[in-house]
Amino acid sequence: MPAKKKSTDSRYREVRNAKANHNYFVGDRFEAGVALLGTEVKAIREGNAQIGESFCRIEKGQVWLFNAHIGEYKFGNLQNHEPRRKRKLLLHRREIDKLIGAMEQGGKTLVPLRVFMKHGLIKVEIALCTGKKLHDKRETLKRKVALREAERDMRSR
**Domain spans of the chain, in order of start:** 15-132
Q: Where are the beta strands (DSSP E) in the chain?
A: 15-16, 24-34, 49-50, 55-59, 62-66, 69-70, 87-90, 109-118, 121-131
In whole angstroms, give the CA distance from residue 54 to residue 90: 17
Q: How many CB atoms lie within 10 A of CB 25?
A: 13
In whole angstroms, give the CA distance from residue 19 to residue 46: 22
In whole angstroms, give the CA distance from residue 36 to residue 41: 7
pLDDT of residue 106: 82
Does residue 22 sit in helix, strand or coil? helix
Tens of pLDDT, residue by residue over 40-94, are: 888 888 888 888 888 888 989 899 999 888 887 777 777 777 778 888 999 999 9
Widest pairwise Cα distance in the chain: 61
80 contacts 73 by C-beta, under 8 angstroms:
yes
> What is the pTM (predicted TM-score) of this model?
0.74
The model's confidence at residue 11, banded by pLDDT at 50, 70 and 90, is low
Say which CATH topology domain 15-132 has: Small Protein B; Chain: A; (2.40.280)
In whole angstroms, give the CA distance from residue 76 to residue 126: 29
Instruction: Give 31's strand partners.
Output: 125
Residues in CB range of 28: below 8 A, 6 or more apart? 98, 102, 127, 128
Query: DSSP secondary-structure letter at 42?
Result: H
The model's confidence at residue 5, banded by pLDDT at 50, 70 and 90, is very low
Tens of pLDDT, residue by residue over 100-146, are: 888 888 888 889 998 888 888 888 999 988 888 888 888 888 988 99
Listed as own residue / partner, the contacts of 143-151 with beta carbons closer than 8 Å and 24 or more positions apart are none
Residues in CB range of 67: below 8 A, 6 or more apart? 53, 54, 55, 84
pLDDT of residue 22: 77
pLDDT of residue 92: 93
